[in-house]
C-alpha cells in the first residue's frame, strides 16, 4: 500500500498519508501529507499514529494482529488534547 487516508467519521475531515520508508523492523512508515505525523508499527503496541516525538495518539479500534505488514483498513481511534475521534482508514487509489 503506497498511500491511504483517514476519514473522520464525525465530520468527514480527511488526512492523507503516503509511504515514506521502511522502518527498522521491515514494515513501511507512512507520513501525513500536511504535517509531522506518522503511521508506523511500534513493537509492543502494533500499528499507531505517532507525533514527532513518537507519542502514540491513534490506533486501530480492534488492535493490530501480529504479522500485519500494513495498517489495517478499519476504524481507528485518535486521542489528542483530551479529545477523541473515530476515523476510517481507506487505502489509496
User: Which one, of 15, 30, 14, 37, lies nearest residue 69 by Cα?
Assistant: 30
Split at pLDDT 50, 70, 90, the class of 23 is confident
| pLDDT per residue as tens digits for the range 54-67 | 899 999 999 988 78
Q: What is the pTM of this model?
A: 0.91
> Which range is least confidently modeled, 13-27, 36-50, 73-87?
13-27
As for how many domains the chain has, the answer is: 1
- Domain holding 64, by residue range, is 3-91
22-47: burial string, b at 16+ Cβ within 10 Å, e else: eeeeeebbbbbeeeebbbbbbeeebb
pLDDT at 11 over 80: yes
Look at residue 35 in the predicted model and tell me its pLDDT.
Answer: 86
Split at pLDDT 50, 70, 90, the class of 24 is low
pLDDT at 80 over 90: no
Mean pLDDT of the chain: 92
CA atoms lying within 13 Å on the CB side of residue 49: 28
The CA-atom distances, in angstroms, between 29 and each of 2, 35, 59, 84, 85 are 10, 14, 14, 23, 22
Amino acid at each position: 500500500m503506497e498511500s491511504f487516508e483517514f476519514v473522520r467519521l464525525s465530520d468527514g475531515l480527511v488526512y492523507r498519508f503516503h509511504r515514506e520508508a521502511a522502518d527498522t523492523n521491515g514494515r513501511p512508515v507512512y507520513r501525513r501529507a500536511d504535517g509531522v505525523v506518522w503511521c508506523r508499527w511500534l513493537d509492543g503496541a502494533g500499528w499507531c499514529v505517532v507525533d514527532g516525538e513518537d507519542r502514540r495518539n491513534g490506533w486501530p479500534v480492534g488492535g493490530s494482529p501480529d504479522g500485519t505488514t500494513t495498517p489495517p483498513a478499519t476504524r481507528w481511534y485518535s486521542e489528542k488534547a483530551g479529545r477523541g475521534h473515530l476515523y476510517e482508514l481507506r487505502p489509496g487509489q
